[in-house]
Amino acid sequence: MRAIYLFILASLFSTQFVEAQKGPKTYVLKGIVTDGTTGQPLQGASVYIPDIKKGVVTNNKGAYQLTIAEGSYVVEASFIGYAITANTVEIHNNINHDFKLSRTAVEASNVTVTSFLRATSTKRTPTPISILKKEDLFKGAATNFVDALSKTPGVTQLSTGPAISKPIIRGLGYNRVVVLNDGVRQEGQQWGDEHGIEIDEYNVSRTEILKVPASIIYGSEALSGVINVVSNVPVPEGAVRGNIFANYQSNNNLKGSHVDFAGNNKGWVWGINGSFKDASAYKNKYDGYVANSQFKELNGSMYTGVEKEWGYTHFFVSQFNQQLGVIEGERNTDGSFVEQFTDIPYQKVKHTKYTLDNSIKWGTGRIKANMAYQRNERMEFGNVEDPKEKSLYFDLGTLNYSFQYLLPEKNNWKHTIGVNGMQQENKNKGVEVLIPAYKTVDAGLFFYTQKRAHQLTYSGGVRVDKKAVEFVQDGFKVQKDYGAMAGSFGMTYEAKNNWVYKLNIAKGYRAPNMAELGSNGAHEGTNRYELGNTSLKSEKSIQFDLGTEWSNEHVSFAGNVFYNMVNDYIFYQKILTAIPLRVDPNFIQHNQGFQFFEFQQNNAKLYGAEASLDLHPHPLDGLHIENTFSYVRGRFDQAVDNSFNLPSIPPFRWIAECRYELDHFIKDTKNTYFSIQFDQVAAQNNAFTGYNTETNTPGYTLINLGAGTQIQQNGKTILSISLVAQNLTDIAYQNHLSRLKYTSINEATGRMGVFNMGRNFSIKVNVPLVFD
């Protein structure tokens, strides 16, 4: 109820504030979007201003027009099949600004990024960022949102079957990665191995992946980076838009669908959407069908709000629902899975969120205020005698807030001051307890600035943070307080001949999470008993990044190297000595097969590189040869049971793709493409072998095929199709970061663990709906 009262008060404040505001000076921004080569107007191109979330679609003459308040804006123009173009436009009177878009492989150097509080071109951002658009996700095949991101350089996934994936950025994951969903920090028990991210894959419009410590803006837990998810996109005034989407995948008989509608009536905006997934057990060449790997999802959200010259206010409601089996991998002597109770253990996850998002012009500056309440209910069922008994039931409530004041740009300086934080309470409602009930409060104050001086762009800032945790352990109240400072400095230099050089230094930190401090229980379906450690300190890191980019009409190259020093790195290791006294003796007596782990700390260093090389040779203008490379190495300063290697470090990966695009393949088609991809993952021979925690993993190569097109009528797209064949040769492989690799040995073959998904065919169809 407290959250509802806060939302009502915030809504009343927003309304009264807006009514009290004098209308700011407004001007007209208009122009034409054309093909940069032919000069042909592009009907249906999008012109979007990220800072005020306002956009429009060009008419049949390629023309657009927006009425906006006086100021400086980054304006982005995009059209499917063309590179995105972003320009800074000064609005002090009515102005014409045309966009010329090019069909080229080179687009990453001038895309707008919003993860740094203000819209900024990636060319002027000193940190490595990857951006995935909705059409990028449409061309691929995935079983969940993180799986869809896992081919991005520097990004991998820690998986427990097709339904559960956790993002790993440059070798660091769990609570070291912050996930933002429409500006709100996602909070859903992300400390757990088998706890995925509660994001509706089908409702994602754009994703920005920031691959450096971002504690300066987002506080504790942004130690390795940020995944910024944008779901809603603006609708032109006077229009109603929608999509009907369907996906089928052959391997696990996945059937997915999504429907969305959104409208804009004189600045009053609304939207509604829903998604559904139903997947059976997946299969591979060695294991056949993997018992208990089925899952279902049912998700929905809606929003309403006002978008005017002074800014916007939006209110969102969303819910994510998932039921999934937890794969144990237990087998009979003939190698088949024990299937007597194929639906036990399993999880139910419900994540509900209410968000109030505001951006209001205040004098010559702008105030951004974002408040949200989210409730995450995660239930685990593991009693075969009483399948409805909740073995574990985490009920987590989180109140998030973020307030920022964007000072007006002056002499090319852009200053931002802000405060953000959250308040959490977690309750245990299951028959077992893995982590104690707890309360946390954290808050941070930060200053961030950007400065452009000719070919140089500087950015940086500082943050002060405090966090308090309160829980009860062994009958005693425990209170832990953590505090830290974070900072960053970066610069980009736009040299001659299309070269861009980047340097960034960032200091981050992360306070221990509740599982690391207070765990004392078993994970159903994992055969693992975890023990926390109340003496843990905060992790502290300093990361150095150096990058360069070069591009012309036919070639683009980007490369980054990094070196990250993490003091007091937290990890869990097996206990091979006597089991600690705080473990319940009754549990030991009745659960002989469990392994015991305890959280410890050690200083560590991570270093590596990512690179991309895209070729678009002339005169084969439709040919694209794209290569991405990723490498990360992690080492402890002091050996842990004779192993210096960090756990959960992915091996070297090279993805090579050859794609041919045709503007008009056959009559009434557009943006047709055919592709072949080689996904080459090297062997990981640097596993964390301390206490037999990990084993080395052999390498493998997957061959993937793709094709797609848009069917048009009277120049408008009426249907989009994407076809994908994954793992075409049906290779049996285990990813080094698959937790199923460590399940039971198959006595019939001698192989350990469960293998990843075999050959899979995917078809996606999208029907856009336009009501003007």
The structure's pTM equals: 0.90
pLDDT tens for each residue of 110-124: 566 676 677 787 888
Any residues with CB less than 8 A from the CB of 498 and at least 6 apart, and which? Answer: 550, 551, 552
Class of residue 380 by CB neighbours under 10 A (exposed 0-12, middle 13-18, buried 19+)? buried
Rounded CA gap, 4 and 120, in Å? 34
> What pLDDT, on the 0 to 100 scale, is given for residue 299?
97
| Helix%, strand%, coil% for the chain, nearest 5 | 10, 55, 35
Q: What is the DSSP letter of 218?
A: H
Q: What is the DSSP letter of 110?
A: G
Spatial separation of the C-alpha atoms in residues 691 and 595, rounded to whole Å: 11
Q: Among candidates 82, 150, 32, which has minimal Cα distance to 757?
A: 150
Contacts of 79 by beta carbon, 8 Å cutoff, 6+ apart? 33, 42, 44, 45, 46, 101
637 HSE (CA, 13 A, CB side): 11
Q: DSSP for 611-679, please give it.
A: EEEEE--SS-TTEEEEEEEEEEEEEEEEEETTEEEPSS----EEEEEEEEEES-SSTTEEEEEEEEEEE
Q: Does residue 23 register a pLDDT over 80?
A: no
Angstrom distance (rounded) from CA 640 to CA 598: 13
Question: Taking 60 as the threshold, does the pLDDT of residue 607 lie above it?
Answer: yes
Res. 170: pLDDT tops 50: yes
Instruction: Quote the pLDDT of residue 267.
Output: 86
Q: What is the pLDDT of residues 370-405, one digit of tens each?
A: 999 999 999 999 888 888 899 889 999 999 999 999
pLDDT above 50 (res 512):
yes
Residue 490 reports pLDDT greater than 50: yes
Give the separation between CA 152 and CA 222, rounded to whole angstroms: 18
Share of the chain above pLDDT 70, in %: 91
Termini Cα distance of the chain:
40
* Full DSSP string of 263-284: EEETTEEEEEEEEEEEE---EE
Contact 723, 762 (CB under 8 A): yes
Question: At 101, is the pLDDT very low, low, confident or very high (cuts 50, 70, 90)?
Answer: confident
Select, from the ranges 148-157, 228-237, 333-342, 548-557, the one with the highest average predicted confidence (pLDDT): 148-157
**Mean pLDDT, range 411-415, rounded to an integer:** 90
What pLDDT was estimated at residue 538? 94
> CA–CA separation, 760 vs 762, rounded Å?
7
Full DSSP string of 160-187: SSSS-EEEEETTB-GGGEEEEETTEE--
CB-based burial label for 233 (10 Å; 0-12, 13-18, 19+): middle
What mean pLDDT, rounded, does the chain reach? Answer: 88
CB 428 within 8 A of CB 405: no
Closest CA to 711 of 764, 660, 672: 672
Say how far residue 81 (Cα) sits from the centre of its chain: 24
**What are the residues facing 273 on neighbouring strands?**
260, 301
Locus of tokens 């003007």: 772
Q: Which tops the pLDDT comparison, 112 or 190?
A: 190
pLDDT in tens, 664-688: 778 889 889 999 999 999 999 999 9
Residue 207: per-residue pLDDT? 92
In 3-state terms, what secondary structure has residue 758?
coil
Q: What pLDDT is stored for residue 20 in this prediction? A: 42
pLDDT tens-digit profile of 709-718? 999 988 788 9
Residue 53 and residue 271 in contact, taking contact as beta carbons nearer than 8 Å: no
pLDDT tens per residue, range 81-97: 777 788 888 888 898 99
CA distance 60 to 34: 11
**DSSP state at residue 220:** T
User: According to the model, what pLDDT value does residue 251 have?
Assistant: 97
What residues does 208 pair with on adjacent strands?
Answer: 131, 228
Phi-psi region for residue 250, left (φ > 0), alpha (ψ -120 to 50) or beta? alpha
List the structure tokens of 728: 């075409």
pLDDT given at position 716: 85
Kindly list the distances between the CA atom of residue 407 and the CA atoms of 464, 606, 741, in Å, as whole numbers in the listed order: 20, 37, 52
Is it the case that residue 595 has pLDDT exceeding 90? no
In this prediction, residue 482 has a pLDDT band, given cuts at 50, 70 and 90, of very high
Tell me what pLDDT residue 385 has.
Answer: 85
